[in-house]
Amino acid sequence: MFASGTAARSLRRAGVGADEVIGEEDVQKLLAIHASGPSVLSLYMWVPVDVAALPELSARADDLLKGAAEGTGGQRALKARSAERQTAQSLVHLHGREWMGHTAAVFASHEAGLAATFALPCLLPDRAVLAVSPHVRPLLVALQRCPAFQAVVVDRQHTWLFRVTGDRIDAEAQSEAAGVRDHRFGGWYGLESYRVNDRVAELAHRHYRDTAVMLEHPAEVGRLPLAIGGHEESVPAFLAALPGSVRDRVAGTFVVDPHTMTPARVRALAAPVIENWVHERERQLVERIMQEPPGGLGAVGLNACLAAVNQRAVAVLVVPVGGLLPGFACESCGMLATHPAACAHGPSAVRPVPDLLEEMAVATRADGGEVVAVHDPPADVAARLRFPLARIQAPG
């Protein structure tokens, strides 16, 4: 039986277009779906920007779907899940053109009434997984490596605030500060011009402060990274006016003429800023883990990380972007292992899972931790711990 039929019905989004991007709330709904057996099919497939390649999508999807049977009962399991395969193939056939230039994520389960699709903003490895719940690790990768963000463009009198989500950019706000009369009307010996310039600087500083206050609200977007653009002389002055709570969100800056920009131009200039910020955060995290002394707040390698996950000690789990790693999970205590006999409840209590890394990621998130994907993590998987473990022993 399913834990939440409502969650499955709320995700029935067959035919979602490329402008509908996965969100954290969608991941949570998918995580609420659990089947009594491997009856949930998850398909991820890159759709190139090439109309001539569209007829090949069905064949590519079929090859991936056949591979999903591995570790879940072979061809017998795959044949039993023919309804899911047909649903996935129908969605690929109907909506492949809408997904061009994106990785398509397709979820199908006849038992749950689930037929959900998403267009992911990142290029991700192709895969298909048949399991008791949706395979969400690639979705977490997309949210992390191609996050939604805000782009702010400022000059001394104006502010333009945009929100970028995937290929979509929306104008959220625009403001104009009070000005002064033309500088050309200064008095004798430039005294009036001096006063006007001083007033301009004062009003600009006030405008920057007002913009900073605007960026602190609303609360629901308060954690989005910021890319700040404008003229070379205005951006540093604006950065200096930001309070710490906003400055911590600044991913970087870019130069753009506010009066000739277009939303598309803003997105094109801001996107590399965010990409560099993501990569730098990943590098710093891995470096921090590798600098931990033995017995400290770092765990490197599958065995150490499995033990840390099972003891609910993981603050940040670092996993690879691609790949699947089969393993086992105990139905009684939730213990994850590489061998069915590792749990004290015995082999009869465990079930095979197609991807241990997926199970580790889901368990880490359930415990309040964070999951970060990198292309080449140390020893394939690593973790930063909440507390040092006296002994980390392999569960499998």
Does 123 have pLDDT greater than 50?
yes
CATH of the domain at 318: 3.30.1330.30
Query: Do the domain assignments include residue 229?
Result: yes
Section 381-394 average pLDDT: 79
Sign of CA dihedral 216, 221, 223, 229: negative
Two tokens, residue 325: 């790693």
Section 106-133 average pLDDT: 91
Query: Do the domain assignments include residue 392?
Result: no
Decide which of 268, 287, 306 is a domain's last residue.
287
Two tokens, residue 28: 């949570």
Decide which of 110, 145, 180 is a domain's last residue.
145
Domain that holds residue 190: 149-287
pLDDT band of residue 390 (cuts 50, 70, 90) is low
Section 254-280 average pLDDT: 96
- State whether 79 and 198 are in the same domain: no
| Confidence at residue 302, expressed as pLDDT on a 0 to 100 scale | 96
Please give the tally of structural domains in the chain: 3
Query: Do the domain assignments include residue 335?
Result: yes
- State whether 95 and 200 are in the same domain: no
Does 363 have pLDDT greater than 80?
yes
Decide which of 226 and 182 is more confident.
226
- State whether 298 and 281 are in the same domain: no
| Confidence at residue 221, expressed as pLDDT on a 0 to 100 scale | 53
- State whether 179 and 260 are in the same domain: yes
- State whether 258 and 303 are in the same domain: no
pLDDT digits (tens, 9 = 90+) for 138-173: 999 999 999 999 999 999 888 999 999 988 899 998
| Confidence at residue 260, expressed as pLDDT on a 0 to 100 scale | 94
Query: Do the domain assignments include residue 69?
Result: yes
Does 13 have pLDDT greater than 70?
no
Sign of CA dihedral 387, 393, 394, 396: negative
CATH of the domain at 106: 3.30.960.10
- State whether 131 and 154 are in the same domain: no
- State whether 271 and 170 are in the same domain: yes
| Confidence at residue 178, expressed as pLDDT on a 0 to 100 scale | 62
Residue-averaged pLDDT of the chain? 84
Q: Which residues contact 40 (CB under 8 A, 6 or more apart)?
A: 33, 84, 107, 108, 109, 112, 114, 130, 131, 132, 133, 134
Query: Do the domain assignments include residue 12?
Result: yes
- State whether 113 and 210 are in the same domain: no
Decide which of 145, 176, 201 is a domain's last residue.
145
| Confidence at residue 147, expressed as pLDDT on a 0 to 100 scale | 92
- State whether 138 and 170 are in the same domain: no
Query: Do the domain assignments include residue 240?
Result: yes
pLDDT digits (tens, 9 = 90+) for 34-69: 888 888 999 999 999 998 888 899 899 988 988 776
Section 96-103 average pLDDT: 92
CATH of the domain at 189: 3.30.420.60
- State whether 10 and 90 are in the same domain: yes
Does 282 have pLDDT greater than 90?
yes
| Confidence at residue 20, expressed as pLDDT on a 0 to 100 scale | 56
Lowest mean pLDDT among 44-53, 179-188, 275-284, 308-317: 179-188
- State whether 105 and 227 are in the same domain: no
Query: Do the domain assignments include residue 394?
Result: no
Query: Do the domain assignments include residue 156?
Result: yes
- State whether 9 and 139 are in the same domain: yes
